[in-house]
Structure 1
Amino acid sequence: MLKYTMRREIITIGENGKVHIPTTPVWMSACEIATLFGVFSGKVSSHIKSILKEGLLREDEVMRTLSFKGGVVDIYNIEMITVLSFRFASLQANSFRKWIIRKLTEKKKTSPPLFVYYKKEGWYN
């Protein structure tokens, strides 16, 4: 188990079901994940153990141990949080799953192509 001191952010879901994911790395404790999904932290911990035991995710890739004054806490990245969202039937977990699926399936906005034509007299756009 590695110990890290890091800057981290958490995901939030508003009362309207709107998901907010910060631009900085997301790392959340089991208690924070439980609050996010509206479930008990014991259930989160149980599912985390199950996910790792089943080999769905690797502990060294999705978990860090955060040191703080008075102790340590295990924190989990967005990959673990995403897998956990499919283990719960709460409204918050459902909102998160819908957000993930929408982000994966939305069409990307692209800039129109820019054509540049060159003649002997010079460049033209």
Structure 2
Amino acid sequence: MERGIITISENGAVTIPTVPVWMTQQEMSDAFNVFGCDIRRAIRAIYKNMELLESDTIRYVRQDNGISYDVYSLEMVIAVAFKLRTKESMAFRRFVMGRLNANGSKPINLFFSLSPSRGKRAGN
């Protein structure tokens, strides 16, 4: 699986690769300058609140040398960035919002697909 990781420099410059972004928890931890437990807590909260689905955002990767690990999609990386409050996560959020606003007057088509149970909370 060819995958890229996002990097954020000390001055807040965000670099996104041209290949699909899939990052490990440790890579997110390094990019956003937080401990691994903060990344795990954010991911757990995202899944618990059904903001994203595991089936859409996580892949299990096995390398030829026998090493295997979980990687998370760009959608999860963005969601995690919005759960954190570090200089790096704020720089990344500004980058994402800047890319969305870069269209100027062009309309942005965002399609969301909610299953009937996905948008409901317990007790509703």
The alpha carbon displacement at 1:109 in A equals 9.8
> TM-score, structure 1 length as denominator?
0.78
- Runs of 4+, deviation exceeding 6 Å: none
Partner of 1:40: 35
Do residues 104 (structure 1) and 100 (structure 2) align?
Answer: yes
Structure 1 portions without partners, runs of 5+: 1-5, 111-125
Higher strand share: 1
Q: Offset of 1:57 from its aligned partner? A: 0.3
Structure 1 residue identity aligned to 2:38: K
Partner SS, residue 8 of structure 1? coil
Q: What do residues 32-52 of structure 1 show as CA deviations (whole Å, max 9, x unaligned)? A: 000000000111012111111
What is the RMSD computed on CA atoms of the aligned residues?
A: 1.6
Amino acid in the other structure paired with 1:96:
F
Match of 2:80 in 1: 84
The within-5 A match list for 1:1-125 is: 6-68=1-63, 69-107=65-103
- Give the deviation of 1:108 after TM superposition: 5.6
Q: C-alpha offsets along residues 13-32 of structure 1, whole Å, 9 cap, x if unaligned? A: 12221111011000000000
Q: TM-score, normalised by structure 2?
A: 0.79
Mind listing any 5+ residue stretches in structure 2 that lack a counterpart?
Answer: 107-124
Provide the rounded CA distance (Å) in 1 between the counterparts of 2:82 and 2:105: 28
Please identify, of 90-99 and 66-75, the stretch whose mean Cα deviation from structure 2 is larger. 66-75
Q: Measure, in 2, the Cα distance between the counterparts of 1:56 and 1:17.
A: 27
CA distance, structure 1, for counterparts of residue 20 and residue 5 of structure 2? 8
Count of matched residue pairs: 105
